[in-house]
Chain A
Amino acid sequence: MSTSTRKSKTAPDDFVAMLETSEADTKQIFADAAKAAERLRKTTLATRLEAVKKLVDHITRNKEEIIDVITRETRKSRSDALISELLGVLDNCEWLLHNAKKILADKKVSTPITLLGKKSRIYHEPLGTVLVIAPWNYPFHIGLTSILAAYVCGNAVVFKPSEITPMQGLFEKLFNVDPLLEQSVFIAYGTGVTAQRLIDQHPAKIFFTGSARTGKKILAQAADKLIPVDLELGGKDQAIIFDDVNIQRAAKGVLWGALTNAGQSCSSVERIYVQDGIYDQFVQTLQTEIRKLVVNAGDTGNADMGGMTVDFQLDIVRKQVDDARAKGARILTGGDLLCDNELFYMPTLLTHVDDSMLVMQQETFGPLLPVLRFSSEDEVIQLSNATEFGLSASVWSKDAARAERVARQLECGAVSINNVMLTEGNPGLPFGGTKASGYGRQKGAEGLLGYTRSKSVLIDGDSAKIEPNWYPYTQQKYNLFSQLIDALFTASPWRLLKAALIGMKLEAEAKKER
């Protein structure tokens, strides 16, 4: 598939030395991908879904080995890998198997009366060769979900996993289950350098999940070539907790939302707004629950929170906490590394935080729980919307009407009510953000259609019939069209009848030569 020669500095030392994909190789990849795309055009959806079925089977049978690789490269706790990566992928596969046919089928569109006797259709066609650039936080789930959606739609896929979590050989082995799939997905290892080379080859569309900084770079490069890009960027997701909730449950939910994957999720809870009446008790409950957590990785499934995947992310977390501490935040738990030389940051509960602190301004992507106080519904909507990001949020209240009211006013792409990060648990719901969190949607019907281009088709029969709007334009036709407009757009119970009569006259007129 892909090869190369150059070592990258960013490769973590305990991993296989990272290779960059050369320019010549990227060219070759795209040439091969074009042929693959050609081949795919002749296949049926059912054939492509076969590969998904085989994959489900393969992943289910080899889940422990796959988790070994994921946890080794990410430092995730084993349960995080099982639940969020494996289960997440399998759910999506299942969804594709049940829904792709319906969504990708040619769509019939009704034809207006003025076009009587004709048929309208939308074809959902593959884009050609798409480029998927995946991040390191969910290297299995995000990569595979995107690849499979693209493939099922009939695209050839060039996939660049993160250089931090390349999981060399894992995807190759997976795709081996089906020859067509294996011939349609191309894996290019490397850093941003490789990404640039790949974009230079002019993919039909780019699907990028990652940081806003890299997202902007990709967008700039793509703009020049008019390549469309879907961007799935960071977030600063809020949890809003009203004082009528079951405190224990909400605290446990928020805790998980903030700490799953050690906080390295784009939709991690990063700001916790708690209403006055229960603020103290809520903080207290969080503190107690944090003290019960088991931090570890390479476990057998019984550790709660794993480690950080990369040191630069850990540095951001440390910087934010140091900054908050210096500006007067109180740190009730954690606040530092588990120990030197290990990429484990302790779950950190912060109070007395304010907008002057980095932890409120930037994405954290780490195990921090800043808790803020609010008193009214309006206040919390305004406060929590005042961020450059807008990915997802959660609203917690016994009052369903209030929760819904608030959900509608939040500027973001997804809201879980009385739960957390749960929109992602339903593969039928689209996922994506607004503002600096990006645009475009993954998953759901909307997400799947993002891997296609719609083609509109209008079908008429072969006959001797000449359309009235074809030449010649005569005074008589003009008058009739004018009457037709009046008939169609003036309210009257006889509207359609009148239009039909005028239509018949027009047809008769159309048969005449000038």
Chain B
Amino acid sequence: MKRMHDYIIVGSGASGSVLAHYLTQAGADVLMLEAGKRFTAATFPQNEMDANAQLMWNGGMDMSRDAATLFIRGKVLGGGTIINQCLLDRFDDVALDDWRTAAGIDFFRNRDMERHYDAVESNLSLHYMEKADWNRNAELYVEGFEKLGLEWAPLRRGQSDCGKGNDCIVCLGGCPRKSKQSMLETFLPKAEKNGLKILSEFEVAEVVHGQQFVTLQGRHQGHPHSLYGRQVILAAGALGTTQLLLKAGVQKRLPALGRNFHCHPQWMTVGFFDEPVDSHKGAFQSVKSTDPRFRDWGFKLENVFAGPIAMSLLKPGYGFEHQRFMQRYRNMACIEVAVRDQAAGTLALSNKGRLVIDKPLSDGDRQRANRGNQIVHDIFSTLGAREIMTSPIQIALHLMGGCSIGTRASDSVVNEQFQVHGLPRLRIADSSIFPNAPGINPSLSIMALSHRAAETLLAEAGIAPSTSTTRKQEQQA
């Protein structure tokens, strides 16, 4: 195998795959390394337990140091996009203005970002959920919102054709219908067609930045192996990328490394109804809150549910009580509060090199959560729920920050060129560069930033963004 590559991308999620696409389209030599396995629509695990074990880091059980928050992140070719819900939203002015202020970077405004959103969206099949898609859980959500006079809207989701009779909750373990617009169905196949080489089951352990190239040392299917890239793009997600930089020992020079970690913590509330709700059937998520007051108050209400294993984790305790809880699985309706967390957490390494996540909630964040949970209680009460339970466990799916973008090495990790300050051959455009929590689904913006990063890299290399064919032919000649 070739040892030296022009670009090596670590991680195949929203960021890595988009970069791979645009770089290979321009004819660049790109290798992608992914710790997880490669699955296809046909081979995804068949049940929730196997999905957790085979598609997620630590079986989907990464915990914060105080064990109050559960972090879920994908470890599979396609990264988080394989196990996520694929709701694809652009950032609003609120989010971008906050970023511009925090990072001091001028392109964080809609005028500049629009081009990147357009570009990545042109590769995605986007669908606004219709009334016909609603399951009972969604109907209850809308009924409640209307009764309380709250604003809602249909969700925009990346899906091509989910067909009929699907129980969409399954696709959180990998969409078997080739419909969900994960990287595996969108950017990755295009990139592979353009010559992207992928090594799955390659876990990078260390990144060593040198004068002429970067060495990546890790294990491929359990065996130690080193690879070399002129430019290395870390796209291992907020936790993965930050961990690799922490291991590289650059924290002294980059004091912001590991700071500014956010995660949109979520609290699920279950309302028990006498009639079956069957939230697990049909389209799993169809509507969202668009009430402007919620944006001010710093939370969203999500129309969600979860598989039986996840639901059982929400209920503390054992025995009969718990059994009774689970027996009523079909009668559960569910709404979740997702908080735009203000207090930043920190990522650090333990003496043994394990990632330690500190994510305490500030009083402000707790107030945001309480206010949201109160509204959910009001909704379920109005709807006549027999019993309402808010889970004490916080779940975090949107892992962001740790390597914030900015202009100075004193308070950020990467610059506008997506270059790690002082380590010019290392690039990052994934969720780790978020300077704060946007309060909006992150993945589309990760893709848009990665598009911009690809443009930056190609411009530096003097390659025109997508005159792919001519360059490819030259290379082959």
Contact = CB atoms under 8 A, between A and B. Distances in A.
Interface in B192-237: 206, 208-215, 217, 223-226, 228
Contact of B4 (A288, A294, A297, A338): A338
Contacts of B212: 297-298, 342
A294 B215 contact: yes
B7 to A, nearest CB: 14
A110 interface: no
Contacts of A295: 215, 226, 228
B57 to A, nearest CB: 23
Interface string B83-114: 00000000000000000000000000000000
A278 interface: no
Contacts of B250: 300
A295 B209 CA distance: 10
Nearest to A302: B208
A294 B226 contact: yes
Contacts of B224: 288, 291-292
B208 A299 contact: yes
Contacts of B208: 294, 296, 299, 302-303
Contact of B249 (A294, A298, A302, A338): A302
Given A294-B215, A338-B4, A302 B248 contact: yes
Contacts of B215: 294-296, 303
Contacts of B249: 300-302
A340 to B, nearest CB: 9
A294 B209 contact: no
B324 interface: no
B352 interface: no
A367 to B, nearest CB: 14
A293 interface: yes
A338 B250 CA distance: 25
Nearest to B422: A300
A19 B225 CA distance: 43
Interface string A283-326: 00000100111111111111100000000000000000000000
A299 B248 CA distance: 10
A338 B211 contact: no
Nearest to B253: A300
Nearest to B218: A292
Most buried by A among B208, B213, B228: B208
Most buried by A among B210, B214, B217, B248: B210
Given A292-B217, A298-B210, A339 B3 contact: yes
Chain A residues touching B, range: 10 to 19
Nearest to A292: B224
Contacts of A292: 217, 224, 226
Contacts of B226: 291-295
B210 A297 contact: yes
Chain B residues touching A, range: 20 to 34
A143 B224 CA distance: 38
Interface in A49-94: 72
B228 A291 contact: no
A298 B206 CA distance: 16
Nearest to B216: A294
Nearest to A298: B211
Contacts of B214: 296
B4 A296 contact: no
Contacts of A301: 249
Given A288-B224, A291-B226, A302-B249, A296 B3 contact: no
Contacts of B4: 338-339, 342
Most buried by A among B223, B224, B250: B224
Given A291-B223, A291-B225, A292-B224, A303 B3 contact: no
Contact of A299 (B209, B223, B228): B209
Nearest to A346: B3
A338 B209 contact: no
A294 B225 CA distance: 9
A328 B424 CA distance: 43
Contacts of B3: 338-339, 346
Nearest to B4: A339
Contact of B206 (A294, A297, A338): A294
Nearest to B425: A298
Nearest to B252: A300
Contacts of A300: 209, 248-250
Contact of B210 (A293, A299, A339, A346): A299
Most buried by A among B215, B248, B249: B215
Contacts of A296: 208-210, 213-215, 228
Nearest to A303: B208
A393 B208 CA distance: 32
B210 A338 contact: no
Contacts of B223: 291
Contacts of A291: 223-226
Interface string A474-497: 000000000000000000000000
Contacts of A297: 210-212
Interface string B361-374: 00000000000000
A302 B208 CA distance: 6
A298 B249 CA distance: 15
A297 B212 CA distance: 8
Contacts of A293: 217, 226
Contacts of A294: 206, 208, 215, 217, 226
A301 B228 CA distance: 17
Contacts of B211: 72, 297-299
A49 to B, nearest CB: 35
Nearest to A306: B210
A259 to B, nearest CB: 13
A345 B210 CA distance: 16
A222 B322 CA distance: 94
Interface in B1-30: 3-4
B230 to A, nearest CB: 9
A299 B224 CA distance: 20
A302 B228 contact: no
A346 B211 CA distance: 17
A346 B2 CA distance: 13
Contacts of A338: 3-4, 228
Interface in A106-125: none
A72 B215 CA distance: 18
10 closest cross-chain pairs (CB), A and B? A298-B211, A296-B210, A339-B4, A291-B224, A292-B224, A298-B210, A296-B215, A294-B215, A299-B210, A302-B208
10 contacts: A295-B228, A296-B228, A298-B211, A299-B208, A303-B208, A303-B215, A338-B228, A339-B228, A342-B4, A346-B3
Given A296-B213, A342-B212, 13 more contacts: A293-B226, A298-B210, A298-B211, A299-B209, A299-B210, A300-B209, A300-B248, A303-B210, A303-B215, A338-B4, A339-B4, A339-B228, A342-B4
